[in-house]
Amino acid sequence: MGLDVTWAVKWLTLSAQAMAEHRVELIELDRAIGDSDHGENMDRGFQAVLDKLAESPPETPGAALKLTAMALMSKVGGAAGPLYGTAFLRAATTLGDAAYVDAPALAAALAAARDGIVARGKAESGDKTMVDAWTPAADAAAAAAADGDTLAVLIAAAEAAEAGAVATDPLVARKGRASYLGERSAGHRDPGAASSALILRAAAGAAA
């Protein structure tokens, strides 16, 4: 039958918990190659998501993701707000008004989220951005979707995103604030890729 709105709300709740728990870690990652506000911004943004979910309980997964997009766009500063907002909005549009999300729809939504980030940020794989987490995640989800298991899709996406985030460590940034550092950006994990991996792991955790 697929995943319903209960899963979507749990995903967003676990994402908020992850941002709170890893706030300092994300701040430290961003301090090294950015302006040290990513953890604070993501924590504040997802707390706003929780407030919106409580105010206006969504009826479908797509509605939950659209609400998330609007909250993140309005509350998350820097580049992350528009990027994550676009990602969640594209995913929500892909899911539409469906009450249940099956494996192919899930993979399509993750691909749409990645495409939204690419379109908004003009970054590609290897630029040391959140795209380096989202592209392998979307690819892994697409490969796993053939079996029709939504949990398998989300686990594959989360594992690929985590590996992708780690793989940003040695890269020289070509986009965003970190690109100003040139070669000095190498040796540091991209904070957006790290927060992306946390969000995708939360999606898997909610389905499990």
**DSSP class per residue in 190-207:** -HHHHHHHHHHHHHHHHH
pLDDT at 76: 87
d(CA 172, CA 126): 8
* Backbone angle region of 149, left / alpha / beta, with phi > 0 → left and psi within -120 to 50 → alpha: beta
For the chain, 208 residues long, give each residue's pLDDT as a single digit of tens.
689 999 999 999 999 999 999 999 999 999 999 889 999 999 999 999 999 999 999 999 999 999 999 999 998 877 889 999 999 999 999 999 999 999 999 999 999 999 999 999 999 999 999 999 999 999 999 999 999 999 999 999 999 999 999 999 999 999 888 888 889 889 999 999 999 999 999 999 999 9
| Distances in whole angstroms, Cα of residue 121 to Cα of each of 78, 148, 177, 200 | 12, 31, 12, 19
Q: Hey, is 126 helix, strand or coil?
A: coil
Identify the three-state secondary structure at position 9.
Answer: helix
Domains with residue ranges and CATH for the chain = 5-207 (1.25.40.340)
Cα distances (Å, whole numbers) of residue 72 to 47, 49, 183? 10, 7, 31
Q: Are 67 and 56 in contact (CB under 8 A)?
A: yes
Q: By C-alpha distance, which of 47, 65, 46, 88 is closest to 7?
A: 65
Give me the pLDDT at residue 1, please. Answer: 66
* pLDDT for the residue numbered 180: 82
For the entire predicted model, the pTM comes to 0.96
pLDDT of 163 reads: 98
